[in-house]
Homo-oligomer: A and B are copies of this chain.
Amino acid sequence: MSAPDLSSLTIAVLGGTGPQGRGLARRFAAAGLDVVLGSRDAQRAQDTAATLADVGRVRGASNADAATAADIVLVVVPWDGHAELLESLKGELEGKVVVDCVNPLGFDKQGPYALRVEEGSATQQAAAILTGSRVVGAFHNVSAVLLEDPAVERIETDVLVLGDDREATDLVQALADVVPGMRGMYGGRLRNAHQVEALTANLIAINRRYKAHAGVRVTDV
C-alpha cells in the first residue's frame, strides 16, 4: 500500500495563532505543504502567517475561511471553547478530515491533570458534533517548544493517530510523516483517544521533573 499523496492538499490549522498551532503550521509548511492558519480574528491569523513567510506557504484567515479552504483541518484550539467552535463550523467541516489535537487539561498548584470529558475525550466530542466529518485524533503529545524552534531540525516522536476511519487515519499518519523525525502511527479507535490526550499531563510532569521537552516513541514498531 503506497502512502497517500499530500502534495496537492491544503492543511488548515484552526487556533493556529497559539504555540502548538503555529508550531505545527511551521513544520507542515517547511515540508512544502500549503497551510492556512485559522483564528477567530482573521487579521491576527494573517499577522501570524506573515511571521512564517520565510518557512513556506502559510496564509492566515478566519477559522471559517480556513476550514472552507482546506482538505485536512487540524483543531488546535484551547479546550475552553472547543465544542462551541466546532458547532459553529459544522457546515464548513462537512465531509472533511478533521484532526483534533486538543488536550483537555487542568492545572493547579500540584501541576497538570486530565479533565473528565462527558463524551470521553475531546476527539469523541468532536466526532459527536461533526457527524458529517471524518474525525481523527492526533498530534496530542508533541512539544510546542520543539515545533516552534527553527533550530530543531528533527522532531523525534511518534504521533499516535486515533480513529475509526482507516482511510482518514492513514492520511493523518502520512501528514505526520512529512515532518523529519516524526512518525505517524495508528494508535487505536476513537474510544481510546482519552488516554492519549491525557498523557500530555504526564509529559508536562516529566518536563518539569527532568527539564525536558518530552515526547513519546513506541518501541518494537
Contacts and interface: CB of A to CB of B under 8 A. Distances in A.
Contacts of A215: 218-220
A195 B188 contact: no
A10 interface: no
A163 B112 CA distance: 14
Interface string A96-127: 00000000000000111110000000000000
Q: Indicate how many identical chains form the complex.
A: 2
A215 B218 CA distance: 6
A217 B219 contact: yes
B206 A221 contact: yes
A23 to B, nearest CB: 15
A194 interface: yes
Contact of A216 (B112, B156, B194, B219): B219
Interface in A12-54: none
B214 A216 contact: no
Contacts of A185: 206, 210
A30 to B, nearest CB: 20
A113 to B, nearest CB: 5
Contacts of A212: 220-221
A217 to B, nearest CB: 4
16 contacts: A110-B189, A112-B192, A113-B191, A114-B192, A186-B210, A187-B205, A187-B206, A188-B206, A192-B201, A194-B195, A195-B202, A210-B221, A212-B221, A214-B218, A214-B220, A216-B218
B201 A186 contact: no
A185 B111 CA distance: 17
A196 interface: yes
Contacts of A159: none
A62 interface: no
Given A113-B191, A188-B202, A214 B209 contact: no
